[in-house]
Structure 1
Amino acid sequence: MLEWFSLQWFLPSQIQQFSWESPAYLYGILLLPLPYIMRWLLHFKSRQKLEIALIEREVVSSPVAFLRHIPSMLMLIFIALILVALARPQITDEKVDRFTEGIDIILALDISESMQIEDFKPNRLEAAKNVALNFIKGRFQDRIGIVVFSGDAYSLAPLTTDYNLLKTYVSEINFDMVQNRGTAIGSALAVATNRMRESSAKSKVIILLSDGENTAGSIDPITAAELAHAYSCKLYTIGVGKEGPVPFGTDMFGRTRYVENTMDETTLRRIAQIGDGQYFRAEDNKTLQEVFARIDRYEKAEIKETRFKDTKDFYQIYLMWGLLVFLLWILLKNTFLTNALED
């Protein structure tokens, strides 16, 4: 209660913190001086006439005479404080709790030798890493894991919501992580499915990105896809790369070398079909970004928000100050000082 009488409530910094339930009352404060301005103008005009009529006499204005205006000033302050109280100054503390059931997502990235081909800038793997990083940034409370594969496959990161850790893992992906040559698409799906086995998420998604055909591993891609489907995993497959001759390094004279690119789109389409997902073809950086953006839209969990508002009123403070000023006005209005001044 004692803090109500602090002058801090009249500081601009404090007033700026308020929100106002009925701010229209504040405009009334601007109108308060008008009657007194009109009264002063009339008094000034009559005073000029009086000085002309009594030119022989000296009109003396005593400073003490200004004390008679104190009650009027107090009444202005009282009305202003009441208007502030009616405007209902408040401070609202709003808290937002966001939650979602979440989605479990495994990113399976091909890091075979052919991912060094430069039809993407700077190459296929770096382009894939960049879109994967952006994909991770756009998720909220979804667990994401990473599988990398070449001639063999292994889990680089388990399902986690530690997005900073995931981004570190993605940034460090390189061609030396798997020594065996080839492209083990079936093994990659099997490793990803193994990570999903104990998942209780409402939606489980595997995104497999590759630029070739299954040439390694002991598990057939179709069999692996059926196994993933049995564990309720939705499969998206992305084929990266252009058909025909594509740039791949330089020859001994520094000239761009071209190699013939082949891709088993039929298998990638079949995998997506088995997994109730979709197959995409990306032939450049922009298309690859658009593919991940589409998957991102398809697999968005509904985010629910619960808002808590704690609103505290402060009109009592200005009402209390107003009553004190009103009592002071009554006291001065009926004092001998006021009566003496009027005489």
Structure 2
Amino acid sequence: MFRFENMAAFNYLWLIPVIVVIGFFFDRRSRQIVQNAIGKRLYPFLSSSVSNKKRTIKNILQLAVVFFFVLALARPQMGESQQEVKSEGVEIIFAVDVSESMTAEDVKPSRLAQAKAELSRLIDLMPGNKVGVVAFAGSAALLSPLTNDPGAIKMYLESLEPSSVSSQGTNFTEALKISKEAFERGGVSTDNIVKVTRVVLIASDGEDHEQGALDEAKKMADEGIRIFSLAYGTEKGGAIPVRDGMGFLKGYKKDREGQTVITTVKGEALRALAEAGKGSFYFATFGGDQTKLLVEDIGKLERTQFDSTMAVQYEERFQLILFMGILLALFEIFLGERRNSFRFWKGRYEVPPQ
């Protein structure tokens, strides 16, 4: 089977008529300038050493070089082979805390912004996995079902805001339940033969105000779902900014007594959650090694083959065409424009060729 991989390259063929027109125009223009400078009677004598035939050949070679280069750029292919491509990995749910406390700026630019950046980086470091996104605060919502499309996951991560859920607060129990449902809906069906490694990665500042999260984590661990946690924020804490519809800072959140609310990271709660879920806990620092350690820990888990597809590969045939273009270009460069033999005048006497 013969085909061109890059059909768009043929759009460059319009350069050939453009070169012809421009070359014709400048050739006439240069002749006219020389004739005006030295006169029409003297011009044939002074230009007698130039070979019009060689000039024509050089022009044809230039056009041929452009044609061969465009043809090579189109990547002609002939012959094909099939190769099996397997997709292996684990199923991961990113459960991201989008409560108002995650907008605190004790880490720059904010806890939530740092979490989104780190999780996007994590996707690049762990290709082949199926990933889903759950946003949670006082309630939880599945934003993206399990998919192996990294671009889609990054888009959902970027869209995370406190408005992604209907109620505020921090409810780990609800986040774990929604994550478990996401595995049951969009994950690989499991039985006595097929086993799938499943992971819930919780990114939060740890301020859980609800009960029952540890019991839910232990229950999920018994079912084979591992729970890892990432803590964002500082122990010193930070104020929760209040912004208008345009994103401009209006002030900071205050309690009923008018005091500025300071939110601090609760690493102990996230550590306990990871231990109950037979996973690991990491304290996130921007540009730190926690992402690398997390990738290593998840990489130690058993990987599952999700699907297998047959990819068709074609053999490239542009090399010979490209070589021909380069060869013609070199020939055109070294081809002169002078006649091989001609008579010239020295003073009043004609001198025969030597």
Normalised to the residue count of structure 2, the TM-score between the two structures is 0.53
Structure 1 position 169 matched with structure 2 position 127: no
Shift, 1:240, TM fit:
1.2
Corresponding residue for residue 156 of structure 1:
143
Shift, 1:254, TM fit:
8.4
1:245–1:164 CA distance, 2 compared to 1 (3 A): closer
For 1:301-320, what aligned pairs fall within 5 Å after superposition? none
| SS of equivalent to 1:269 | helix
Contact 1:185/1:213 (8 A) holds in 2: no
Contact 1:245/1:259 (8 A) holds in 2: no
What letter matches 1:278 in structure 2? S
Distance 2:235 2:117 in 1: 22
Corresponding residue for residue 230 of structure 1:
222
1:230–1:116 CA distance, 2 compared to 1 (3 A): same
Distance 1:220 1:124 in 2: 25
Contact 1:99/1:303 (8 A) holds in 2: no
For 1:1-343, what aligned pairs fall within 5 Å after superposition? 97-197=84-184, 199=188, 200=190, 202-216=196-210, 220-246=212-238, 248-249=240-241, 260-282=262-284, 284-287=285-288, 290-300=289-299
Contact 1:242/1:261 (8 A) holds in 2: no
Contact 1:98/1:303 (8 A) holds in 2: no
1:96–1:207 CA distance, 2 compared to 1 (3 A): same
C-alpha deviations, 1:134-161, integer Å up to 9, x for none?
Answer: 2122333311111110111111111111
C-alpha deviations, 1:228-258, integer Å up to 9, x for none?
Answer: 1122011101111111242544899989997
Shift, 1:227, TM fit:
2.2
Distance 1:103 1:234 in 2: 11
Gap runs ≥5 in structure 1: 1-90, 312-343
| SS of equivalent to 2:151 | helix
Contact 1:111/1:125 (8 A) holds in 2: yes
Distance 2:241 2:170 in 1: 20
C-alpha deviations, 1:196-246, integer Å up to 9, x for none?
Answer: 246435311110011132114xx6111210221122011101111111242
Distance 2:101 2:290 in 1: 20
Contact 1:111/1:150 (8 A) holds in 2: yes
Shift, 1:276, TM fit:
1.4
Distance 1:150 1:253 in 2: 22
What letter matches 2:209 in structure 1? T
| SS of equivalent to 1:295 | helix
Corresponding residue for residue 5 of structure 1:
none
1:114–1:96 CA distance, 2 compared to 1 (3 A): same
What letter matches 2:135 in structure 1? V
What letter matches 2:291 in structure 1? F
C-alpha deviations, 1:2-40, integer Å up to 9, x for none?
Answer: xxxxxxxxxxxxxxxxxxxxxxxxxxxxxxxxxxxxxxx
1:107–1:253 CA distance, 2 compared to 1 (3 A): closer
C-alpha deviations, 1:26-69, integer Å up to 9, x for none?
Answer: xxxxxxxxxxxxxxxxxxxxxxxxxxxxxxxxxxxxxxxxxxxx
Instruction: Name the count of aligned residue pairs.
Output: 216
1:123–1:262 CA distance, 2 compared to 1 (3 A): closer
Shift, 1:129, TM fit:
0.7
Contact 1:145/1:158 (8 A) holds in 2: yes
Higher helix share: 1
1:95–1:119 CA distance, 2 compared to 1 (3 A): farther
Distance 2:249 2:281 in 1: 39
Distance 2:86 2:237 in 1: 48
Gap runs ≥5 in structure 2: 1-77, 254-259, 316-354
Shift, 1:112, TM fit:
0.3
Distance 1:110 1:178 in 2: 10
| SS of equivalent to 1:101 | strand
Distance 1:309 1:164 in 2: 24
| SS of equivalent to 2:88 | coil
1:256–1:129 CA distance, 2 compared to 1 (3 A): same
Aligned-pair identity (%): 24
Corresponding residue for residue 12 of structure 2:
none
